[in-house]
């Protein structure tokens, strides 16, 4: 599996804030991460890739970001946008953020609110959307902020703003989300503590005016990318596939537990540590799946995996019920309604609710597929396109996908890998 997208973004950002050279191997070379790299270059970092695929990042130091001369084009990437807004907020620079049609519909108020409290100023498009201009401030004001929505992007934006803010910046996280920022900030030498409060919330504190030390980083493979191959192997008869280099950070890996509860045969091989994150190879065999009610408590630990889980559910025996998925409506697309429409068109039995989908599976029979001349609509969302490609493997007449270009944002080699393993 190619490198983890979340970890790749963070390695470029923190490398760009350390003084000296950070080296990164296994970086995901998808469009989203390249948007982050371009933005960090525009703010003063030197970032190059050598012939062996190693990335070299020469940072400017915390507090050293330069005024970008042009708008920062974030493409399709919410992670780049929200995390970089955090970085810019506590520097004395002004930056304009722009993005594609999908990103320009996504809510930024969730980061504008806390960063405004720290002293940054925003001029946003209606509804707190892109394009927006952010005037950072130095020194910014440290805050203590309780996350109103379970979002690693919001948490990370505040922690990154805290890096160049005097004193202690605190984020209280009632529901745990992916902890790559915390792990990597510590790895770069920031003073960061995590405490569990009496009510079970995680209290994360970072000391500002930090000095980050350059690192050598190996990015582990992305479990969110592995998800497509794991489910393809579970669904396609005769499959016995080893998916190598799968990150299994507990804040990311709930999908594999859910699939096992549904009867999926997924075996961990060679569990190891890569770049401070747990990793294994997964051996996956075709399995008869049974529908379940997915516990909403696991949603943050598999938030990006629901589109492809819905495909698994559409082929399972019996009913799968998902709830607590409100956040899916503000991803690269409204993933609840996009998957409802796409799976229905492909012949699955799906009901949309406010916060999830209810799916009555075929019990292993292939889906009919899309009717002649009709294609499922991906709405500039890479994960919708890849989920439907997997569904196509488990359909009678195939599934026509309207636009596969968004796949390059997170998984440029997806199509060639899928062709390779499926013998197409």
Tell me how far apart the alpha carbons of residues 110 and 206 are, in angstroms, rounded to a whole number: 20
Q: DSSP string of 29-45?
A: -SHHHHHHHHHHHHTT-
Tell me how far apart the alpha carbons of residues 100 and 107 are, in angstroms, rounded to a whole number: 14
**Which CB, 107 or 398, lies closer to ligand S3P?**
107
- Tell me if residue 381 is catalytic: no
- Collapsing DSSP to helix, strand or coil, 376 comes out as strand
**Residue at token pair 């409060």:** 197
Q: Show the DSSP H helices in 295-357 as ranges.
A: 306-315, 335-345
Q: Which residues contact 259 (CB under 8 A, 6 or more apart)?
A: 230, 231, 234, 266, 289, 309, 312
Which residues are near ligand S3P by CB under 6 A?
A: 6, 79, 151-153, 156, 178, 303-304, 327
**Which CB, 395 or 409, lies closer to ligand S3P?**
409
Tell me how far apart the alpha carbons of residues 421 and 46 are, in angstroms, rounded to a whole number: 38
Quote the radius of gyration of the chain (alpha carbons, Å): 21
Cβ 200 to ligand S3P, closest distance in Å?
19
**Which CB, 11 or 370, lies closer to ligand S3P?**
11
Do 244 and 218 form a contact (C-beta atoms < 8 A)? Answer: no
Cβ 368 to ligand S3P, closest distance in Å?
31
Cβ 108 to ligand S3P, closest distance in Å?
11
- Collapsing DSSP to helix, strand or coil, 87 comes out as helix
**Which CB, 62 or 303, lies closer to ligand S3P?**
303
Q: Which of 4, 222, 281, 304 is catalytic?
A: 304
H or E segment and range at residue 270:
strand 265-274
Using alpha carbons, select from 278, 276, 265 the residue that is nearest to residue 239: 265
Cβ 39 to ligand S3P, closest distance in Å?
15
Cβ 303 to ligand S3P, closest distance in Å?
5
**Which CB, 83 or 235, lies closer to ligand S3P?**
83
Active-site residue set: 304
């Amino acid at each position: 599996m190619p490198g983890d997208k979340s970890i790749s973004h963070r390695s470029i950002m923190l490398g760009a804030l350390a003084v000296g050279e950070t080296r990164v191997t296994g970086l995901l070379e998808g469009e989203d991460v390249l948007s982050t790299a371009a933005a960090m270059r525009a703010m003063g970092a030197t970032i190059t890739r050598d012939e062996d695929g190693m990335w070299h990042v020469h940072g400017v130091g915390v507090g050293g970001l330069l005024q970008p001369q042009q708008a920062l084009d974030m493409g399709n990437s919410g992670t780049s946008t929200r995390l970089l807004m955090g970085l810019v907020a506590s520097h004395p620079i002004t930056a304009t953020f722009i993005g594609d049609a999908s990103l320009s519909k996504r809510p930024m108020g969730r980061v504008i609110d806390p960063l405004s409290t720290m002293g940054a100023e925003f001029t946003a498009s209606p509804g707190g959307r892109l394009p927006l201009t952010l005037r950072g401030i130095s020194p910014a004001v440290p805050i203590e902020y309780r996350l109103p929505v379970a979002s690693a992007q919001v948490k990370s934006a505040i922690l990154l703003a805290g890096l160049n803010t005097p004193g202690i910046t605190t984020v209280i996280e009632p529901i745990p989300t992916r902890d790559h920022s915390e792990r990597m900030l510590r790895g770069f030498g920031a003073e960061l503590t995590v405490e569990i409060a009496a009510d079970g919330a995680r209290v994360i504190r970072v000391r500002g005016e930090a000095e980050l030390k350059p690192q050598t980083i190996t990015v582990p493979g992305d479990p969110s990318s592995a998800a497509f191959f794991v489910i393809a192997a579970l669904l396609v008869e005769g499959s016995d596939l080893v998916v190598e280099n799968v990150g299994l950070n507990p804040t990311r890996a709930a999908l594999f537990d859910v699939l096992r509860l549904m009867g999926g045969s997924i075996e961990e091989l060679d569990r190891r540590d890569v770049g401070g994150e747990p990793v294994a190879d997964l051996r996956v065999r075709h399995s008869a799946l049974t529908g379940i009610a997915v516990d909403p408590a696991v949603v943050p630990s598999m938030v990006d995996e629901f589109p492809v889980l819905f495909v698994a559910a559409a082929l399972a025996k019996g009913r799968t019920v998902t709830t607590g998925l409100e956040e899916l409506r503000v991803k690269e697309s409204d993933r609840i309604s996009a998957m409802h429409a796409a799976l229905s068109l492909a012949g699955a039995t799906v009901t949309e609710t406010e916060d999830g989908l209810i799916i009555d599976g075929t019990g292993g029979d292939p889906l009919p597929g899309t009717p002649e001349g009709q294609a499922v609509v991906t709405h500039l969302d890479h994960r919708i396109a890849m989920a439907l490609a997997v569904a196509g493997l488990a359909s009678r007449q195939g599934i026509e996908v309207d636009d596969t270009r968004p796949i390059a944002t997170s998984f440029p080699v997806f199509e060639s890998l899928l062709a390779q393993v499926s013998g197409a």
